[in-house]
Amino acid sequence: MTGSTRKSPAEEQRKGKTEMRANRFAIVMATALLGVLGGAILCAQDQDKDKYSLISPDGVAFSDFRGYEDWSVVSSAHQEEVLKVIVANPEMIKAYKNGSPGDGHFFPEGSKIVKLQWKPKKSTEAPFAVDVPDVFKQAFVMEKDSKRFPKTGGWGYAVFNYDAASGKFTPDPTAHADCGNTCHIAVKAKDYIFHPYQIR
């Protein structure tokens, strides 16, 4: 004699209701998660929209450097109160790899370079003394456009300051005096660029 494994109509109904509740819960959770992710994406897009609408007093637009967050590293530098990472767009990286600046080769029109600057802090995790980036401070940008910037060796300069509390960038009103061409004239023979492409 075999026992019956068939469920009663009442048990089937309870099982169906339980599955429906589980499905509804999964749908609600998925919708909530999509809402959160969508909000984060929209927030990031709004920040990019705000950032890339900025123009420096000297007419350099932050939007000219769109995508700089993913550009290749050229070099780095460390001053007492600033850690710097220098990145460049693909055109400029290609020119570096082909020998610019040197032997009469200069960077082509459209070359762009960005110096990303952080306030440093001492690492509390490393087992040795090391400075690591803390608060992001500013993006110092340069772009080569000889028609737009003939008086400064073909390069346009700007500084976009970052306020960590608000998460917003603003163009520095003194950018033209913050180094810019005044400092870079010292390396005119290197097409106004201080940092060589470092071997890696």
CA–CA gap between residue 137 and residue 81 (Å, rounded): 11
CA 172, 174, 179 angle in degrees (round to 5)? 105
Is pTM beyond 0.85 here?
no
C-alpha span between 114 and 155 (Å, rounded): 13
In angstroms, rounded to a whole number, what is the distance separating the alpha carbons of residues 174 and 82?
19
Percentages of the chain per state (helix, strand, coil), in multiples of 5: 40, 30, 35
Structure-token pair, residue 2: 């075999």
42: left (phi over 0), alpha (psi -120 to 50) or beta: alpha
Give the integer Cα–Cα distance in Å for 46 and 110.
26
Per-residue pLDDT of the chain (200 residues; tens, 9 = 90+): 555 566 666 666 666 666 666 556 556 555 555 555 544 343 344 556 789 999 999 899 999 999 999 999 999 999 989 999 999 999 999 999 999 998 888 999 999 999 999 999 999 999 999 999 999 999 999 999 999 999 999 999 999 999 999 999 999 988 665 578 889 999 999 999 999 999 99
Residue 55 identity: I
132 alpha-carbon distance from chain centroid? 17
Question: Does residue 120 contact residue 134 with C-beta atoms inside 8 Å?
Answer: yes
